[in-house]
Amino acid sequence: MTGAMRIAGFAVGVVAVAGVAAAVGLAVGPLDRGHDDSGGHGGDGHSTTAMDDHAAPPGLAVAQDGLTLAPRVRTAAAGTTAEYAFRILGEDGRPVRDFDVEHDREMHLIVVRRDLTGFQHLHPRMDPDGTWRTPLRPEAAGTHRVFADFSHEGDATTLGVDLGVPGTAGHDPLPAPAATSTAGAYTVRMQGSAVQRGTESDLGFEVSRDGARIGDLQPYLGARGHLVALREGDLAFLHVHPLDDATAGPSVRFRVEWPSPGRYRLFLQVRHDGRIVTTPFTVEVRS
């Protein structure tokens, strides 16, 4: 993660969650590869699909560049808060314990259901033995994707693993693109340049509450806002921070280079009056 975006694409495959696959409705997603928490190896951690023709970008699977995301559990109960624990393992199978601070945290955990609902942005705490822990509450049944976003020895990395939530799972269609999104009394309007594959878009988000523009947004993770974008279908992952410093004003600006045509779900987070306001947007990227 830097001031510019990092994009990670995920291959589409069938995800099997032991003991609950039949109960999980959203069972189509990227195949987890790499070794599990016991240290066994299973694949090279690279996808057959890349975002460009030269090299596979980071974040394609559970293991990449000698690092592996090893969750302690693979399932969770809908509507119940429980501890989610995981470790980042090195090539020797031992837990990594030295992480860089990026955007005020050593670890960012993004959780979202396969239909791009139920977005959560969590910040786990690490035990001395290298185990990360955080409370997690998935509200709905279905297959969820868990992204661990961090930096180690100066290299930014995004790893992903699936989490099965048993039960009867629906599939909400992605909302159509719209210029505004609301969260309680807050309304956010998105403005920007043409959204086209291979070009940079300058996107601005103007925040208001009860119809009045907000001029006192507070810093969030060392910046004026936070933006995550996920591509519909394969959940390609994009993490970008604003161009502006954490100063006063109602607008937050981002510069985004779209890797491919398709629909993306954007999740904007800003901080105001001590609370985190999250608003989603759908963007259609042209070829």
- Cα separation, 180 vs 99, whole angstroms: 37
- Considering only CA atoms, which of 187, 162, 283 is closest in space to residue 230? 283
Express the helix, strand and coil content of the chain in percent, nearest 5 each. Answer: 0, 45, 55
- Residue spans per domain, the chain: 6-165, 180-285
Give the DSSP per-residue string, 83-125.
Answer: EEEEEEE-TTSSBP-----BTTBSEEEEEEETTS-S-EEE--E
Q: How would CATH label the architecture of 6-165?
A: Sandwich (2.60)
Dihedral over alpha carbons 99, 100, 106, 109 (to 10 degrees): -80
Give the DSSP per-residue string, 1-46.
Answer: --SS-EEE----EE---TTTTTT-S--EEPPP-S--TT----S-S-
Q: From 3.30.70.120, 2.60.40.1510, 3.40.50.150, 2.60.40.10, which CATH number describes the 180-285 domain?
A: 2.60.40.10
- Same fold for the domain at 6-165 and the one at 180-285? yes
The confidence score (pLDDT) of residue 180 equals 97
The confidence score (pLDDT) of residue 237 equals 80
Residue keyed to tokens 């590869």 = 33
pLDDT in tens, the chain (287 residues): 443 344 333 333 333 333 333 333 333 333 344 334 433 333 333 333 334 434 444 455 789 889 999 999 999 999 999 999 999 999 999 999 999 998 889 999 999 999 999 999 999 999 999 999 999 999 999 999 999 999 999 988 889 999 999 999 888 899 999 999 999 999 999 998 768 887 778 899 999 999 999 988 988 888 889 999 888 888 878 767 678 765 667 889 988 878 888 999 999 999 999 999 999 999 999 88
